[in-house]
Structure 1
Amino acid sequence: MRAFIAHNPKRRLALRQFTVLAAGAALACIAHGEGPAVIRVHARKFTFTPDKITLKRGVPVVFELTGQDILMGFSIPDFNVRADVVPGQTVRLALTPDKTGTFDFLCDIFCGSGHETMNGTLTVT
C-alpha cells in the first residue's frame, strides 16, 4: 500500500494539499483563539483566587482548578457543576453559562474553621 501512495503522483499531490489545508485550519483556530477560554482558579484554605469572575452567556469556558493545601470542593450550584479540588493536581471543569445574572461559587467540602467564607461571585453578562 505504501508503495502505491508513494509512486502515484496524483495521490501524493492530494496528500500534500490535504496536509497544507489541515495545517492552515489548525493555525487559523489557534490564531482566532477558538476553543473555550481557560480560567485558572487557585484554591487554598478559605480562599479562591480569583474570587470574582465575569463570563458571557453562551460562551464556553473551562475552569482549571488547583489546590494548595487540603481537599476542597468547587461548586456553582446555579449551573449544577462541581468538582473536587485535590492538592497538587489540576482539575478541569467545563461550563457554558446559559443564563445571565450574578451567582455564587463556593467550597462544598468542609475545610476547617473559616470554611464558610470560602466563596466567590460569578457574573454572567
Structure 2
Amino acid sequence: LYRSVGSQHRALLFSWAQARKAFLLRAATAAAEASAAREAEVESAQTRQRQQEICAQLKAKVLQWKAQQEEAAKLEAAVAARRKEKEDEKERLQKEQEMIRRAREKEEVKKYRAERALEWRQQEEKELQRLEELRKLM
C-alpha cells in the first residue's frame, strides 16, 4: 500500500510536471504567436504610415509639377504672343516702308516725266523758233 501510494504520488507528480511543461510550452507558444502578431500589426501600421507619407509626398510633387507645367504654358503663351506682336509690328513697318518707297518712286517717275515733257517742249520751241528764223531769212 505504501509503495502503491508512493508510486501514485510519483505518477501524480510526473503527470503534474508534464502537464505543467505542456502548459508552459503552450503558453510560450501563444505568447510568441501573440508577440509575432503584434509585431506584424506594428510593422503593417508602420508600412501603412510610410505608404501614406510617400503618397502625400507624391501628391505634393504632382501638384507642384502641375503648377510648374501651368506656369511654363503661360510663359510660353506670353512669349509666343510677344513674338507674334513683334512680327506683326515688323510686317507693318515693312509695308509702311514699301508704301513710302513706292510713293517716292511714283513721285520720281512723275518728276522725270514732267522734266522730259518740259525738255521736249523747250526743244520743240527752239526748233519752232529756229524754223521761224529760217523762214524770215528766206
Higher strand share: 1
Q: Which has the higher contact order (CA 8 A, sep 6+)?
A: 1
TM-score using structure 2 length: 0.21
Instruction: Give the number of the structure whose alpha-carbon radius of gyration is greater.
Output: 2
